[in-house]
Structure 1
């Protein structure tokens, strides 16, 4: 992913008002993010643990969505799999994230996503998920990255339809 500025991030949001986009908490460390290793920019709102955000390149534009995280399954030991990068985590490492659909009507779509939204780093082995987090696959890294990009794109399409 190419480096993006705060102004671009705020302008990319499609499922919230301009006022909401103006007030959302954008990461302060944009200048040190590993942009070459990111397929999308994702972060949690540290001031509001139930909120998260995802911004991805879709064709020639950025698309950002505000997400709500379902309540945690703290204490759960079963594994859950991220529907974007197919990484498995124990406990609350994967959360149901819902996004309000564009166009109003109160509808939303959801997906199980790595709670820390670090899918790109897990995929590339830059962030450790622990034993059994990445299942052995015959796909190349480029094919896994492509699959994740398709999964992100399909999620964003469900939000913007």
Structure 2
């Protein structure tokens, strides 16, 4: 992914108003992100733990998505799998994230959801740059490039649902 500026991020959102996009908390450490290892930029809003955001590139343009996390407490022995990168996490390492649909459907209250890594570090898990709290990912026969393609495809399928 190419490095992003704060204005790039704010202009990319498809499922919130321009005012909401201007008020959201953009990461302050944009210059320190490992851009070459990211398929999307994802972060949680520090002052509002139920809000998360992601920005990805699609068809040579940026698409930003505002997400809401559902709150559920799970025991450490409970494991869940991210629908994007297929990394398993114990406890609250995976959360259901709901996104309001784009356009009129979103204004009517329609949304779509996806189980994702709560820390939104899917790109880093797939590349082995970050290790899940459980200590390891499942060993797969797919190459890293194939796993990246699968993860980006899963994310694209979710984003496509925002427009339907």
Which residue does the alignment assign to 2:39?
39
Name the CA distance, whole Å, in 1 between partners of 2:59 and 2:122: 20
The answer to whether the aligner puts 1:158 opposite 2:156 as a matched pair is no
Name the CA distance, whole Å, in 1 between partners of 2:135 and 2:76: 16
Query: Aligned-pair distance for 1:160?
Result: 2.3
Which residue does the alignment assign to 2:116?
113
- Aligned residue runs from structure 1 range 23-62, under 5 A: 23-62=23-62
- Aligned residue runs from structure 1 range 3-152, under 5 A: 3-103=3-103, 104-131=107-134, 133-152=136-155
Residue 116 to residue 131, structure 1, CA distance change in 2 (3 Å)? closer
Residue 109 to residue 28, structure 1, CA distance change in 2 (3 Å)? same
Query: Aligned-pair distance for 1:159?
Result: 1.2
Structure 1 stretch 127-136 or stretch 149-158: which is displaced more? Answer: 127-136
Q: Please state whether the residue corresponding to 1:10 is helix, strand or coil.
A: helix
Gaps of 5+ in 2: none
CA contact (8 A) 2:70 2:97 kept: yes
Name the CA distance, whole Å, in 2 between partners of 1:74 and 1:88: 14
Query: Aligned-pair distance for 1:128?
Result: 1.1
RMSD: 1.1
Deviations 1:116-145 (A, max 9, x none): 000011111111114464111110000000
Query: Aligned-pair distance for 1:12?
Result: 0.2
